[in-house]
Structure 1
Amino acid sequence: MTTVLYAAYDAYTQLLEGVIDPRTKDLPLMGGPIPVILLLICFNYFITTLGPALMKDRPPFELKKPMIVYNALQVVVNAWMVHMGMTRIWLTGQYGMGCFPVDRSESPDAMLTTKMVYVYFLTKLSDLTDTVFMVLRKKNVQISFLHQYHHIGMAMAGWVAAALIPGGSHVLFFGTINCFVHTVMYFYYLVTILKPEYRQSTIKRRITELQLAQFVITTIHAIAGMLTPDCEFPTWALTIFIPQDIFMFALFWDFYVKTYLKPKAKTPEGAEPKKSS
């Protein structure tokens, strides 16, 4: 039995050796998918079972100061990612808005985009903290299927991008737009902590509309890539991107309709705009 396990592990490591981008494989959590999968399993268990059980007979934590620090850091990191994406990629004139491949060289530009995709993956992991705060504050009503699905799914997608396609037209395009949306969203959360009266403003609705627009834009961009002859971005990735974006749009649209277009279907007290993927 031990021999079989060793053989299976050896086959697994050899498979990863030929698949994971050599520029990211030695970075933390990038040696293989198992650590991230286990982390996400533990996260899901905590937010659905362990956390609520531990908090059942306890008063909710306030967590105002940690949340201020967390949201401020999220704003800074996501804004930095947008800045880097615009100044080092999209506004340089080197890349068009269409298809371009993953640059797997070790040139300064290629290494920069690789590191940016890895940092993006880390931001998807840091997004999980927001849900932990919800559990500790006993705001479990906010943890919907949409919330769980997109947080867990985006963390895993971030790993796949950093491991297999750390760059290229559609990864960088989606990442830049997504970081912009998160910059706006986390800035709003930061403001509402400091100024609670803004929670009832129309800004929440506008953020949801921004999230919906994100999925429309990225879906069109991915479809355009699929329809482009000789598109150098991996087709298998576009095949995943398109249905994923459409599904996320459907979930967010359902939330938008129930929250803003149906007067009787109000958002539960304390709920906030759903996080984008």
Structure 2
Amino acid sequence: MNACRAQKSQEEKPKDSLDMSFNTLTSRAVLLYDQWLKEADPRTGNWLFMASPFPQTIIIASYVYFVTSLGPRLMENRKPFDLKRPMIIYNFSIVAFSLYMIYEFLMSGWANGYTYGCDLVDYSSSPQAVRMAWTCWLYYFSKFIEMLDTIFFVLRKKSSQVTFLHVYHHSIMPFTWWFGVRFAPGGLGTFHALLNCIVHVIMYSYYALSAMGPAYQKYLWWKKYMTTIQLVQFMLVTAHIGQFFFMKDCPYQFPVFLYVIGLYGLIFLLLFLHFYYHAYTKGKRLPIVFQNGNYLLKKSE
């Protein structure tokens, strides 16, 4: 009897020790999280989704689950939705929103005081500094709107377009930009956002015209150059952020974000180079033109 009690006691001790270790680890994590948030920008703390990264994490996880699993299963035995009109409205809305953000990024810094070199975050309450922070939040929020790209693919049963590159891009952008808006809404870390808005004006204009039907296909001869524009974007992002690592004195407040942006630019540059090689070089993919009411592959000369 005593031997059984001793054995039970020995079994409970490791369990109690494990529980204590877990509770200690959890308490330390909460403490570190609280200390970490004390360094955040107080101006953005009360804005939508900014109080904590958890709401956006739930949204992003739900998005990934829907576009990779739930959505395709729901559409498996259904006919594709006809979303021509919603897509035209959506794409032109993104174009308008991107033009607005370009203007705001320029007026709040990039055409109004920034040097394109060591531009620090202005944490003051000046109208221009707050304007830049708010523009960063608008850009962050636009990433959730752009998730509709993939949802439209799923509802139209265009599964071939729901690639790893596509889903990864739409997932990682809002997640990383939460930290940007919460800790460093401004400075040289926002240059890639300005570039991305410019690219989106071109890209979503293409999507809008494409959604308008065959009558507009003849204006889309520049489809192949969309990937080239993306490549130029990521080369500029990598070059701009890379100069930070060669500056002798640039006291950027959160340099970790610059490392993340540099890594982001490099990863996407490699991914798009890989896509370009397989789509247009190895696969010899040629642009489609509209001729005599029929879609034809343009023959190489």
CA–CA separation in structure 2 for the residues paired with 1:136 and 1:220: 38
Q: 1:210 aligns with which of 215, 229, 235?
A: 229
**What letter matches 1:107 in structure 2?**
S
The answer to whether structure 1 residue 121 and structure 2 residue 140 are counterparts is yes
Q: 1:191 aligns with which of 209, 221, 226?
A: 209
Q: Give the 3-state SS of the residue equivalent to 2:143 in structure 1.
A: helix
Q: Give the 3-state SS of the residue equivalent to 2:66 in structure 1.
A: helix
Alignment length, in residue pairs?
A: 263
Contiguous gaps of at least 5 residues in structure 2: 1-18, 288-301
Q: Give the 3-state SS of the residue equivalent to 2:137 in structure 1.
A: helix
Q: Give the 3-state SS of the residue equivalent to 2:277 in structure 1.
A: helix
TM-score by length of 1: 0.88
Q: 2:123 aligns with which of 104, 107, 113?
A: 104
Higher mean displacement: 252-261 or 188-197: 188-197
- Identity, in percent, stands at 33
Q: Which residues in structure 2 correspond to 1:16-95 (within 5 Å)? A: 17-92=37-112, 94-95=113-114
**What letter matches 2:231 in structure 1?**
L
Deviations 1:117-151 (A, max 9, x none): 00000111111011011111101110111001111
Provide closer, same or farther for how the CA distance between residues 147 and 199 of structure 1 changes in structure 2, counting only shifts above 3 A.
farther
CA–CA separation in structure 2 for the residues paired with 1:24 and 1:109: 15
Aligned-pair CA distance for 1:262: 2.5
Higher relative contact order (CA 8 A, sep 6+): 1
The answer to whether structure 1 residue 223 and structure 2 residue 224 are counterparts is no
CA contact (8 A) 1:124 1:154 kept: yes
Aligned-pair CA distance for 1:84: 2.0
Aligned-pair CA distance for 1:90: 2.4
Higher mean displacement: 173-182 or 235-244: 235-244
TM-score by length of 2: 0.81
Higher mean displacement: 175-184 or 229-238: 229-238
Aligned-pair CA distance for 1:265: 6.1
Structure whose alpha-carbon radius of gyration is higher? 2
The answer to whether structure 1 residue 254 and structure 2 residue 271 are counterparts is no
Aligned-pair CA distance for 1:86: 2.4
Q: Give the 3-state SS of the residue equivalent to 1:223 in structure 2.
A: helix
Aligned-pair CA distance for 1:264: 5.3
CA–CA separation in structure 1 for the residues paired with 2:176 and 2:214: 33
Residue 273 of structure 1: aligned partner: none
Aligned-pair CA distance for 1:162: 0.9
Contiguous gaps of at least 5 residues in structure 1: 268-277
CA–CA separation in structure 1 for the residues paired with 2:91 and 2:251: 37
Provide closer, same or farther for how the CA distance between residues 100 and 198 of structure 1 changes in structure 2, counting only shifts above 3 A.
same
CA–CA separation in structure 2 for the residues paired with 1:195 and 1:14: 53
**What letter matches 1:121 in structure 2?**
Y
Provide closer, same or farther for how the CA distance between residues 9 and 169 of structure 1 changes in structure 2, counting only shifts above 3 A.
closer
Aligned-pair CA distance for 1:220: 0.6
CA contact (8 A) 1:170 1:221 kept: no
Residue 150 of structure 1: aligned partner: 169
CA contact (8 A) 1:226 1:238 kept: no
Provide closer, same or farther for how the CA distance between residues 56 and 136 of structure 1 changes in structure 2, counting only shifts above 3 A.
same
Deviations 1:183-228 (A, max 9, x none): 1101111111114355574322111111100110110111101211
CA contact (8 A) 1:99 1:170 kept: no
The answer to whether structure 1 residue 236 and structure 2 residue 256 are counterparts is yes
CA–CA separation in structure 1 for the residues paired with 2:258 and 2:157: 38
